[in-house]
A and B are shown apart, each in its own frame.
Chain A
Amino acid sequence: MTADPLLTVTDFSVTYEVDPPVEAVRNVSITLERGEILGLAGESGCGKTTLAYGIQRLLKPPAVITSGTAVFQDAGGQTIDLHALTVEQMRRFRWDKASMVFQGAMNALNPVTNVGSQLDDVFLTHRPQMSRAERKEECARLLDMVGVGRERLRSYAHELSGGMRQRVMIAMALALKPQLMIMDEPTTALDVLVQREILQQISDLRHEFGFSVIFITHDLPMLLEISDRIAIMKDGRIVEIDTSANIYHHAQHEYTRRLLSSFPSLTGERGDFVRGTGHGAGAVEENGASR
């Protein structure tokens, strides 16, 4: 892989200022190459979503970024320090250069306005020079592209299936041809067949448009199949980052290995799954971890 970084995050920390304070992200440094799919894997509460929101400066109080920088190398050659931008500059940056696809999509769409107007919002805000007719055509084209179909422009969220809603969100994320898409558990709530279709679609679209993806999920087997590189996160830290093949074959960190062994193989050997190997195998994992 040639060194052409799109996003460089250095020494990034986020703390939830509650009592007692929770350090959700601790001194994370990570580089995302242009055109790459970077998987971010970890269990609930490991800080993976907080990190993604933090990069986009979408965190709400009591979450506070306590250290670090996030620098974006625009395709135009410009270097953008995301934390030096004013609020207004940040607003313009969002979605235009870096868009997001959120978990579930159940609630990601506004229930009281139709899908078309929510797509239209993006153009209305970021491309004010476009005419009404141009915007409408562009929205229709996007829905066609993700396989939802332009006849759904006037549909509301509750009239669409979970898979369709997530496709709408992907269409929306693609609207301005961003260089970075952050996807937070985009297929977790979906059936495995729909999930596979959507992953395929993301992969195809990436080949077409060349954007980079940060793909956040707890589903390590899926990440292994779709990512170029994978970062394993635990307790706010990245404990290991490497290519998918290396993570799969030569995981270095003990936690990575444990995570890998948590997923029994679908078609391979039974691995760590010990049905029939004896008593007490279940007790090891959660020694009193209570939350």
Chain B
Amino acid sequence: MRFFLRRLAFYAFTAWAAITINFFLPRVMKGDPISAYLQKNQGKVSPEAIDSLRTLFGLDSTKSLWQQYIDYWGLLFHGDLGRSFSRGLAPVTDIIASALPWTVGLVGLATVFSFIIGTSLGALIGWRRGSRADAVVPIATFFSTVPYFWMGLIVIAVFSSTLGWFPASHAYGKGSAPEWSLDFILQVVQHGALPAITIVVASLGGWVLGMRNMMMTVLDEDYVTVAQAKGLKPRRVLVNYAARNALLPQLSSFALSLGFIVGGTLVMELVFSYPGVGKLLLDATTAKDYPLMQGLFLVIALAVLLANIMADIAYAILDPRTRQMEA
């Protein structure tokens, strides 16, 4: 229990630090793009929007820094991240909320699948070391070293342009709007297939290799020999003794890649014109849309944090030694 409290305090501190840095960052930036923008668009911006932007970017020189900081937290608690310049002053929160599900849904699922498939495959290959299953390793490695955009283009050329099995871009058909209907869900699945498959193929190699190597190490451990000497069924030795231990280091890498889901899929979103967070961030940067950028940074930082918390919890469940470290 002490362990969990300790970790919790650590994460609370990290979250606070990320938010505070996000508060100070625009205040140390040179120039004043916000004032310039407001000047240019006088009359078009509502007074409330101006207020929240002033607070977020520290334009309110009449207030003390401390007061600004308090106001900033107030806005965050109301879910107000300001207005986007490049998107007709729509609330940043809404813009991010409309992109986030696509990214998390597609890339998140693909990453989870890739992890599960890759780790299981790696466990099996490690278990049967020296057999023909080893042939999977160079193949998987090959796919993970191919530049992703290149693989994406080839896949589009083959499965979309030539064979016409899958659409080449966007998250759903033109003319449809998101709704909970079977037709729309099918569209989403069809549009998501190519990006998802390419992500799985590209990242599979790492999981296979990592797990296989850990299996090789674990198989030499005494407790695996003991399990075999106990006459346990091979499946049980593989799952409960070998893979169970080999999995632990994989979890840390998994947590890292989960954290990067939100921010790190720009190339995929560009190749497939997918309406995700990566593309949003690129657009925001090109358009010098500071409120949107600031909001995205915050969301990405918190996502990485959240992934780490989940990995910690998984670790504590799977490895009793972590729980006891402090006792």
Q: List the interface of chain A (C-beta within 8 A of B).
A: 56, 58, 61, 91-96, 99-100, 102-104, 106-114, 121-122, 125-126, 156, 158-159, 169, 172
Given the contacts A107-B222, A112-B244, A56 and B229 also touching, CB distance less than 8 Å: yes
Task: Determine whether the beta carbon of A110 is less than 8 Å from that of B229.
Answer: no
Q: Say if the beta carbon of B86 comes within 8 Å of chain A.
A: no
A96-B231, A110-B223, A121-B227 given; 20 more Cβ-contact pairs under 8 Å: A91-B231, A94-B228, A94-B229, A99-B229, A102-B222, A102-B225, A102-B226, A102-B229, A108-B222, A110-B227, A112-B320, A121-B230, A121-B240, A122-B230, A122-B232, A125-B230, A125-B233, A125-B236, A126-B231, A156-B320
Which one of A104, A112, A159 has the greatest number of beta carbons of chain B within 10 Å?
A112
Per a CB cutoff under 8 Å, which of B130, B228, B241 touches A110?
B241
Given the contacts A91-B231, A93-B231, A94-B230, A111 and B225 also touching, CB distance less than 8 Å: no
Q: Can you offer 19 A-B residue contacts whose CB atoms are under 8 A?
A: A56-B229, A94-B231, A100-B226, A102-B226, A103-B222, A106-B222, A107-B222, A108-B226, A110-B223, A110-B241, A110-B244, A110-B245, A111-B223, A111-B320, A112-B319, A121-B236, A122-B232, A156-B320, A169-B226
- Chain B residues within an 8 Å CB radius of A91: 231-234
Q: Helix, strand, loop or mixed for chain A's interface?
A: loop
Interface contact tally, CB-CB below 8 A: 81
Q: Say if the beta carbon of B321 comes within 8 Å of chain A.
A: yes
Task: Determine whether the beta carbon of B229 is less than 8 Å from that of A111.
Answer: no
Report the bound CA distance from A283 to B212 in whole Å: 48
- Chain B residues within an 8 Å CB radius of A56: 229
Report the bound CA distance from A113 to B237 in whole Å: 13
**Chain A's nearest CB lies how many Å from the CB of B114?**
24
- Chain B residues within an 8 Å CB radius of A111: 223, 245, 319-321
- Chain A residues within an 8 Å CB radius of B248: 112
Q: Say if the beta carbon of B60 comes within 8 Å of chain A.
A: no
Task: Determine whether the beta carbon of B230 is less than 8 Å from that of A109.
Answer: no
**Chain A's nearest CB lies how many Å from the CB of B145?**
30
**Chain A's nearest CB lies how many Å from the CB of B316?**
11
**Chain B interface size, under 10 / 10 to 19 / 20 to 34 / 35 or more:** 20 to 34
Report the bound CA distance from A94 to B227 in whole Å: 10
Q: Say if the beta carbon of B94 comes within 8 Å of chain A.
A: no
- Chain B residues within an 8 Å CB radius of A104: 222
Q: Say if the beta carbon of B324 comes within 8 Å of chain A.
A: yes
Task: Determine whether the beta carbon of A112 is less than 8 Å from that of B318.
Answer: yes
Report the bound CA distance from A94 to B231 in whole Å: 5
Report the bound CA distance from A221 to B248 in whole Å: 43
Nearest residue, chain B, Cβ from A121: B232
Report the bound CA distance from A114 to B232 in whole Å: 17
Report the bound CA distance from A133 to B7 in whole Å: 37
Q: Say if the beta carbon of B32 comes within 8 Å of chain A.
A: no
Report the bound CA distance from A111 to B232 in whole Å: 17
Per a CB cutoff under 8 Å, which of B130, B232, B318 touches A125?
B232
- Chain A residues within an 8 Å CB radius of B233: 91, 125
Nearest residue, chain A, Cβ from B320: A156
Given the contacts A121-B236, A121-B240, A58 and B320 also touching, CB distance less than 8 Å: no
Task: Determine whether the beta carbon of B225 is less than 8 Å from that of A113.
Answer: no
Q: Say if the beta carbon of B51 comes within 8 Å of chain A.
A: no
Report the bound CA distance from A226 to B7 in whole Å: 51
Closest 8 CB pairs of A and B: A94-B231, A107-B222, A95-B231, A156-B320, A110-B223, A108-B222, A95-B230, A91-B231
**1/0 contact trace for B233-265 toward A, CB 8 Å?**
110100011001100100000000000000000
Per a CB cutoff under 8 Å, which of B221, B225, B244, B320 touches A158?
B320
- Chain B residues within an 8 Å CB radius of A95: 229-231
Report the bound CA distance from A106 to B230 in whole Å: 17
Report the bound CA distance from A95 to B225 in whole Å: 12
Per a CB cutoff under 8 Å, which of A58, A103, A158 touches B229?
A58
**1/0 contact trace for B208-230 toward A, CB 8 Å?**
00000000000001110111111
Nearest residue, chain A, Cβ from B242: A110
**Chain B's nearest CB lies how many Å from the CB of A108?**
5
Nearest residue, chain A, Cβ from B321: A158
- Chain A residues within an 8 Å CB radius of B227: 110, 121
**Chain B's nearest CB lies how many Å from the CB of A14?**
16
Report the bound CA distance from A126 to B236 in whole Å: 13
- Chain A residues within an 8 Å CB radius of B226: 100, 102, 108-109, 169
Report the bound CA distance from A6 to B248 in whole Å: 43
**Chain A's nearest CB lies how many Å from the CB of B133?**
16
Nearest residue, chain A, Cβ from B129: A61
Which one of B222, B228, B230, B234 has the greatest number of beta carbons of chain A within 10 Å?
B230
